[in-house]
Amino acid sequence: MKLKAASGPPPGFGLQAFLTTAPDGSPINPIAQGVSLGIGSYAVTIEPGTFHQVPQGWWVYSGTINGIALKVRISQVSSSTSQAKGNQKKQNVTGSNSYEVQVTATGVDITTSSDPATVSLTLGTNVGSVQAYY
């Protein structure tokens, strides 16, 4: 997971996360399900019906919620390797239940949260959280 924060101006953050749902878990469908994100004290829910799917197969959202400009892309990954910042641990993500989530937000300052910050993500019935340094 990569989390980059900027205190501004303008304040904002960028997030890149790889996740794998349980093999017997329900598949994600951001078009029909809500997506919630929390970083420290900041929390946002993107309502069902606001994502759309582009020809590449990604689910995307671009809009403003409570004055915060958000761009979100969720893509299914068949195989990927990411480099975790800080501990230099490689994370291999493979399988049809693996996803990459990218978020860019402008207008929110998460640098007032503790570092590391708790990052939580809810995709339909799939829920997870982790500590991330920014």
pLDDT tens-digit map of 46-89: 999 999 999 999 999 999 999 999 999 999 987 544 433 333 33
Count CB atoms within 10 A of the CB of residue 122: 16
Omega cis (within 30) before 30: no
CB 72 within 8 A of CB 46: yes
CB 57 within 8 A of CB 51: no
| Distances in whole angstroms, Cα of residue 65 to Cα of each of 30, 50, 61, 93 | 16, 11, 11, 30
Ramachandran angles phi, psi of 79, nearest 5°: -160, 140
Question: How many angstroms separate the CA atoms of 13 and 70, rounded?
Answer: 10
pLDDT at 131 over 90: yes
Amino acid at residue number 13:
F
Read off the pLDDT band of 2 (50, 70, 90): very high
What integer pLDDT is reported at residue 79 of this predicted model? 55
Residue in the structure block whose two tokens are 């978020």:
103
The 3-state DSSP class for residue 111 equals helix
Report the chain's mean pLDDT, rounded to a whole number: 87
What integer pLDDT is reported at residue 69 of this predicted model? 98
Q: Give pTM, 2 decimals.
A: 0.85
Read off the pLDDT band of 14 (50, 70, 90): very high
Q: What six digits make up the tokens of 128?
A: 């997870």
* Residue-range domain boundaries for the chain: 2-21+34-132
Read off the pLDDT band of 8 (50, 70, 90): confident
